Amino acid sequence: MKQINIASPSVSGWYALYSFLLTIGLPLILLVSLAKQRSRAGLLERLGVVSRKSYVVHSAKPVLWIHAVSMGEAMAIVPLVVRIKDVYPNARVFVSTITDTGRDVVLNNLQGLAEHLYLPFDYVTVVKRVLNRINPHVFMFVDTELWPNLLHVLQSRRIPTMLINGRLSSKSFGNYMKIRPFMKHVIKSITFCAMQSKRDLDRICALGADTERVMITGSIKCDQELPVLNPQIKKTLSTFMRMAAGEDVIVAASTHSGEETALLEGYKRLLETFPSLVLLLAPRHLDRVSEVEKLIRSHSFVPVRKTMISHVAPDHVLATREGDAEIGTWKRVLLLDTHGELATMFQFATIVWVGGSWVPVGGHNLLEPAQAGKPILFGPYMDHVSEMAEMMIASGGGIQISSLEEMVHVIAKLLQNKEQCKWMGNAASQVVKDNQGALDRTLRALHGVLNNLPCLDIKY
């Protein structure tokens, strides 16, 4: 791929207005960050007040900085970082996140390959302080999380920037188009945009990206490998799921408020025909686990948390509260209350329901259950992953559900026809296989961005 040069920074009063609004909004930003438990840990570092690490200001090694918002994005870039270290072995890699769950992914999966930092808040003085500490040669960011001041300062310092795995939901695109005069400057500050689909490419160009600075690479999540568990974790998960051994299991992944109620009501109806059916709920945000646990009890089910089985024999795990033992042991709902184990749970599923789709969130990752070869159901709100949802529907590997009655009917039909279940799972898995190769395309684009850095020792 030919070398890609950095565009000259634009001078615009929009940046001054943006910085002014950001400044007066600081109290609200801090309140929102403090309200979210997963965003509290790195708050001081994000403000540039303290640093947990002594970053090297000047280094002979090239520094590559990759930003992944939270756990999902951090998991997606793990194979990318591994490949980057293979191709650029002398590079020092930093991975930034906003949440502590994202940090944990970096520390647990990229030890020895990358260092973690929290993304600075988008204030010019804070951004400059962090850039002075780590002195990056390139900045990459995932899934189109745009930070205007950060991108503008990087451009003014002639540091190339690259959007990887880029996507623009209809909601984000609509909001950005309302302020297109400003967003045009922001988009043009990005050196290169590697987008997931043609729809995403068209949208980034409509916002102002130059056509010669964009390409379709696909989703790097299609190149993720199924997780390999260490023996201890595998033993714990097997103990947890042994309560569903030999039974059909619905895994409801990444659920949000309002979705668990519908799933529990549907589950109650399905139990009339399939009394051994097991439901596993995996809330998207673990700070809602207690709320979901109460909701499960309100539907007369016994909640069985994953963390309960670490120190309790599975034969006794159902009697978690006085009175629970009197409820039929079949009336249980498994509750995944741990980070990083959902992808593994899909292997135990008969059917997977993907959350964030029954309420207007925009849907979540379809690729992990598809990789596991499971039939996938989801609701009407799939804007964040609309192209993948369309491919799953077209292939027959996924079904979009619009009502509770339809959910019960479709699940019942699948439970009665295991061959159809297997066929759907194979179709979903084939969609992922057909869309692999994004890592190679992304690395080729990155090489075009980094061509002018003589300090990189490239291996091919």
For residue range 116-149, what is the model confidence (pLDDT) as tens digits?
Answer: 999 999 999 999 999 999 999 999 999 888 999 9
Q: Is 443 within 8 Å of 83 (Cβ atoms)?
A: yes
Q: Output b/e per residue, 205-242; b: 16+ Cβ within 10 A.
A: bbbbbeeebbbbbbbbbbbbeebeeeeeeeebbebbbe
Amino acid (1-letter code) at residue 388: M
pLDDT value for 308: 82
User: Do 33-218+437-450 and 231-434 fold alike per CATH?
Assistant: yes
Helix (H) or strand (E) run with residue 356 in it:
none
Does the pLDDT value for residue 62 go beyond 90? no
CATH number of 33-218+437-450: 3.40.50.11720
For 51-60, 200-209, 249-258, 306-315, which range has the lowest pLDDT when averaged over its residues? Answer: 51-60
> What CA–CA distances, in Å, run from 355 to 257, 299, 359, 363, 379?
10, 20, 8, 6, 8
Strands (E) across 206-361 are located at 214-216, 249-255, 278-283, 302-305, 332-335, 351-354
Interatomic CA distance for residues 115 and 439, integer angstroms:
21
Please give the angle made by the CA atoms of 48, 53 and 54, to the nearest 5 degrees. Answer: 95
Local confidence band at 316 (pLDDT 50, 70, 90 cut-offs):
very low
The percentage of the chain sitting over the pLDDT mark of 70, rounded to a whole number, equals 85
The whole-model pTM stands at 0.79
pLDDT value for 33: 81
Interatomic CA distance for residues 270 and 301, integer angstroms:
14
List own/partner pairs for 193-198 with CB under 8 A and 24 or more apart: 193/162, 193/163, 193/166, 194/162, 194/163, 194/164, 194/165, 194/166, 194/441, 194/442, 194/445, 195/163, 195/166, 195/167, 196/165, 196/166, 196/167, 196/387, 196/438, 197/167, 197/387
Class of the CATH domain delimited by 231-434: alpha beta
Per-chain mean pLDDT for the chain = 86
For residue range 412-458, what is the model confidence (pLDDT) as tens digits?
Answer: 999 999 999 999 999 999 999 988 999 999 999 998 888 766 555 55
| Phi, psi torsion values for 255, nearest 5 degrees | -80, 155
- What is the widest separation between alpha-carbon atoms in the chain? 71
For residue range 20-32, what is the model confidence (pLDDT) as tens digits?
Answer: 999 999 899 888 8
Q: Where are the alpha helices (DSSP H) in 148-277?
A: 148-156, 170-178, 180-188, 198-206, 231-241, 259-271
For residue range 367-389, what is the model confidence (pLDDT) as tens digits?
Answer: 999 999 999 999 999 988 888 89
Does the pLDDT value for residue 330 go beyond 70? no
What is the signed CA dihedral for 252, 257, 262, 265, rounded to 10 degrees? 90
pLDDT value for 58: 56
Q: Is 435 within 8 Å of 218 (Cβ atoms)?
A: yes
pLDDT value for 116: 94
The mean per-residue pLDDT over the stretch 70-74 comes to 85
Local confidence band at 233 (pLDDT 50, 70, 90 cut-offs):
low
The mean per-residue pLDDT over the stretch 59-85 comes to 88
Does the pLDDT value for residue 327 go beyond 70? no
Domain extent listing, the chain: 33-218+437-450, 231-434
